[in-house]
């Protein structure tokens, strides 16, 4: 690919996505999503706005270590009437633990008059001063031209002046934003084409909102016109109607155009798992009908469609679903799954003959469990254990004999209402039964402490393991208090991060199953490393 075909992917999930109604990322959520984006191979991961809220402040205090992506801090240009040296927002950006920054500024004269209340020339100075100030302090500076398309349609001369002010001051990227999401593709293509006459396309980016359901189309139109950075969010997350869906954009760019998306093109099969990772982090059901990655994206009902697909998938499938990590699903007789299982085997280092009968048995076992509520796309560690157990390669490090969990809700000596949890666990470890008791901050914490109290004397490596996140999803809400519950537990240690799953009508039982897998995975990988 020549340089003029290279498109740079910029993810804004951790900031724009956090503005979605009902979305509240925790620091562990942000870390997990940033790591997943880095593994996918995107070029930029925007972490949020340092200093804007406690979560972003904590996240930037210990930023993720990214192998491929550039970590970006977001902020705004200096305030009216302040110098760049005396602006707290610019100071936060300059001091942020991120090599690159992206600043938003006004590009619509209407907003300059209405929101800022300053002369149009002052806004130009604010943009130029802020960019120049940070160019001296950061590896890369980007300018988000807010409401650019509305501004261009109202006053093209002024919108161009705003963009040129940032460009002339040294900004690496000038990002043209369709902030209201009301522009149509033919308008975007025309305006971006006109902008490439004054700013090289390899310095222009596009940031689209989805208020007319055109964010992906608008982004593709901008790239066709010459822009070479595209911004979006996982699953199109974002305020109001969302942002451009980066999942769809990546797949379309890689599979439908001659544009080069860099490292991400080699990891397209991660797209489905990334999409579902976000949904599990948000504790919501994935969109079955999402393009490329939805469960129904390659689903076919019985009849003529199934017959045609079985003869030649191109009849009703625009791509091979495995390319994006998805699978074909035939509702009446499901023939999909084997290729995905084999691909996962390769990822975890298991070399198996595709014709081995154990592969077919495992495919059926995964289908049965996913029908019951398991979601192995979001629990890679549990899937690995399931696969290795099917191949008889995981030792029984310990066995549960019984456990009991009690909650005691009472008034203490100070007259305060408190709830205490206590877990009693009996395990068989190294041929001996051990009973332990532990108190915790809730029943799952108590259960975890009691289990590890029994195991740590035999397996000291568990001292380096910790639970970093715990999520519960009700799978059958219509069943009320008898509903089936899915528990996802994320653990961390010297082996990195891993996620396990448990499903049961009893939330404590589901939690134990996830804890059991988390500890077993840790012990297995420690034995592999040390052995």
pLDDT digits (tens, 9 = 90+) for 229-272: 999 999 999 999 999 999 999 999 999 999 999 999 999 999 99
Residue 499 or 355, more confident? 499
Distance CA 94, CA 89 (A): 9
Identify the pLDDT of residue 338. 64
Q: pTM, whole model, 2 decimals? A: 0.73
Residue 85 or 280, more confident? 85
Give the chain's radius of gyration (CA, Å): 26
Q: What is the mean pLDDT of residues 194-221?
A: 98
Instruction: Give the contacts of 225 (CB within 8 A, at least 6 positions apart).
Output: 188, 189, 190, 192, 193, 196, 201
Q: How long is the chain?
A: 531
Tokens of 281: 């982090």
CB 149 within 8 A of CB 191: yes
Strand-pair category, 70-76 with 329-330:
unpaired
Instruction: Give the contacts of 391 (CB within 8 A, at least 6 positions apart).
Output: 350, 352, 358
- The continuous run of DSSP H or E covering 473 comes out as strand 466-474
pLDDT digits (tens, 9 = 90+) for 439-482: 999 999 999 999 999 999 999 999 999 988 899 998 888 777 77
Tokens of 413: 């000596």
Q: What average pLDDT is seen over the chain? A: 90
Q: Which residues of 467-497 are buried (b: 16+ CB within 10 A; e: fewer)?
A: bbbbbebebeeeeeeeebbbbbbbbbbebeb
Angle at 476 between CA 296 and CA 509, to 5 degrees: 115
Would the pLDDT of 337 be above 60?
Answer: no
pLDDT digits (tens, 9 = 90+) for 142-163: 999 999 999 999 999 999 999 9
Q: Spell out the SS3 assignment of 74-134.
A: EEECCCCCCCHHHCHHHHHHHHCCCCEEEEEEECCHHHHHHHHCCCHHHHHHHHHHHHHHH
Identify the pLDDT of residue 310. 54
Instruction: Give the contacts of 217 (CB within 8 A, at least 6 positions apart).
Output: 185
Tokens of 53: 């809220």
CB 193 within 8 A of CB 223: no
CB 179 within 8 A of CB 209: yes
Distance CA 314, CA 295 (A): 18
SS3 383: helix
Instruction: Give the contacts of 353 (CB within 8 A, at least 6 positions apart).
Output: 359
């Amino acid at each position: 690919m020549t340089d003029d075909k290279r498109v740079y992917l910029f993810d804004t999930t951790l900031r724009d996505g956090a503005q979605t109604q009902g979305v509240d990322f925790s620091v562990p959520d942000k870390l997990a999503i940033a790591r997943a984006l880095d593994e996918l191979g995107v070029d930029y991961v925007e972490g949020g706005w340092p200093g804007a809220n406690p979560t972003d402040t904590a996240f930037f205090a210990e930023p993720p270590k990214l192998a491929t992506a550039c970590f970006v801090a977001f902020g705004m240009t200096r305030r009216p009437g302040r110098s760049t040296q005396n602006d707290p927002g610019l100071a936060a950006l300059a001091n942020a633990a991120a090599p690159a920054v992206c600043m938003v500024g006004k590009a619509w004269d209407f907003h300059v008059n209405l929101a800022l209340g300053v002369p149009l020339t002052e806004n130009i100075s604010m943009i130029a001063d802020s960019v120049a100030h940070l160019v001296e302090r950061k590896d890369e500076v980007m300018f988000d031209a807010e409401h650019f398309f509305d501004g261009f349609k109202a006053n093209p001369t002024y919108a161009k002046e705003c963009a040129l002010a940032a460009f002339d001051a040294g900004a690496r990227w000038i990002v043209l934003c369709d902030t209201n999401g009301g522009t149509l593709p033919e308008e975007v293509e025309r305006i971006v084409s006109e902008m490439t006459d004054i700013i090289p396309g390899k310095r222009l980016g596009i940031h689209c909102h989805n208020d007319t359901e055109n964010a992906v189309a608008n982004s593709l139109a901008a790239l066709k016109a010459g822009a070479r950075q595209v911004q979006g969010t996982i699953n199109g997350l974002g305020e109001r109607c969302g942002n451009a869906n980066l999942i769809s954009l990546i797949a379309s760019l890689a599979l439908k155009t001659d544009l080069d998306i860099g490292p991400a093109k080699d990891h397209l099969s991660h797209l489905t798992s990334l999409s579902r990772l976000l949904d599990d982090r948000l504790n919501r059901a994935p969109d079955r009908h999402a393009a490329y990655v939805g469960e129904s994206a390659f689903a076919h009902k019985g009849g003529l469609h199934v017959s045609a697909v079985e003869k030649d998938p191109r009849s009703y499938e625009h791509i091979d679903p495995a390319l994006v990590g998805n699978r074909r699903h035939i509702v009446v007789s499901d023939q999909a799954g084997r290729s995905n299982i084999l691909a996962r085997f390769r990822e975890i280092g298991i070399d198996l003959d595709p014709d081995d009968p154990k592969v077919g048995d495992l495919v059926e076992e995964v289908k049965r469990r996913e029908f019951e509520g398991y979601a192995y796309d979001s629990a890679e560690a549990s899937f690995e254990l399931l696969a290795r157990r099917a191949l008889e390669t995981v030792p029984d490090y310990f066995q549960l004999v019984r456990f009991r969990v009690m909650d005691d809700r009472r008034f203490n000596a100070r007259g305060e209402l408190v709830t205490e949890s206590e877990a009693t666990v009996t395990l068989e470890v190294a041929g001996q039964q051990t009973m332990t008791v532990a108190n915790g901050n809730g029943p799952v914490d108590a259960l975890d402490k009691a289990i590890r109290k029994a195991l740590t004397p035999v397996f000291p490596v568990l001292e380096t393991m910790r639970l970093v996140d715990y999520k519960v999803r009700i799978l059958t809400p219509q069943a009320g208090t008898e509903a089936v519950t899915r528990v996802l537990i994320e653990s961390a240690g010297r082996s990195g991060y891993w996620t396990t799953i448990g499903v049961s009508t009893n939330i404590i039982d589901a939690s134990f199953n996830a804890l059991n897998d988390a500890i077993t995975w840790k012990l297995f990988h420690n034995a592999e490393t040390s052995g």
